[in-house]
Amino acid sequence: MAVEPEVFDELRRLRTRVPHLTGSLAASVDGLVLAQDTGGVEPEGLAALTAAALGVALRVTDATGRGAFRELVVRGEHGYVATYAAGPTAVLTVLAEPRANVGRLHLEARRAGVRIAELAEGRAAARQSGGGDRSRSADPVRPRSSESGRSGVLPSRRPGTG
């Protein structure tokens, strides 16, 4: 099941729904690009940096007792970089101009993250079943914890559990 074109379509739709969005990237939590529409930003480097930032964000949420990671927003002089959980196996990173409506960005990126999670989990399920196509009625991949079962939430890591 090739989900990359479907993920790219979701990124393209996100760009049309959010004014001042300048790029987006869907990646696995370990930094592999699933689909990208990043403009002038090198996608492999952004995916790797996203994975590194995700690692720090997971530790911060754990250390402070804030639960599973949902999103990370960085505001720079020239705009925003925001990363959203897209299920337990993927993340969505978006780039926006400084004048972007952050509320709208959050709303639409969270929705896109849910859709990307569905696509990524479908791909993982197909791999586990031997690479064949699976219908939508098939059982989804079961996450490691009940909290990570919600789309848009990465599983929490506990110190010493890897």
Contact between residue 82 and residue 96 where contact means Cβ atoms under 8 Å apart: yes
- Cα diameter, the chain: 47
CA-to-CA distance for 23 and 28, rounded, in angstroms? 17
DSSP 1-34: ---HHHHHHHHHHHHHHSTTEEEEEEEETTS-EE
Region 37-45: what's the mean pLDDT? 93
Give the model confidence (pLDDT) of 93-147 as tens digits. Answer: 999 999 999 999 999 999 999 999 999 888 666 666 765 443 333 222 223 343 4
- Residue 87 confidence (pLDDT) above 90: yes
Contact between residue 50 and residue 110 where contact means Cβ atoms under 8 Å apart: no
Region 50-66: what's the mean pLDDT? 95
Region 58-84: what's the mean pLDDT? 96
C-alpha distances (whole Å) from 59 to each of 51, 56, 63, 69, 162 are: 13, 5, 6, 9, 11
Contact between residue 67 and residue 156 where contact means Cβ atoms under 8 Å apart: yes
Give the model confidence (pLDDT) of 5-36 as tens digits. Answer: 999 999 999 999 999 999 999 999 999 999 99
Residue type, 5: P
Q: Which of 102, 48, 41, 34 is nearest to 73 (CA)?
A: 102
Contact between residue 83 and residue 91 where contact means Cβ atoms under 8 Å apart: yes
The pTM score is 0.78
CA-to-CA distance for 108 and 113, rounded, in angstroms? 9
First to last CA, the chain: 29
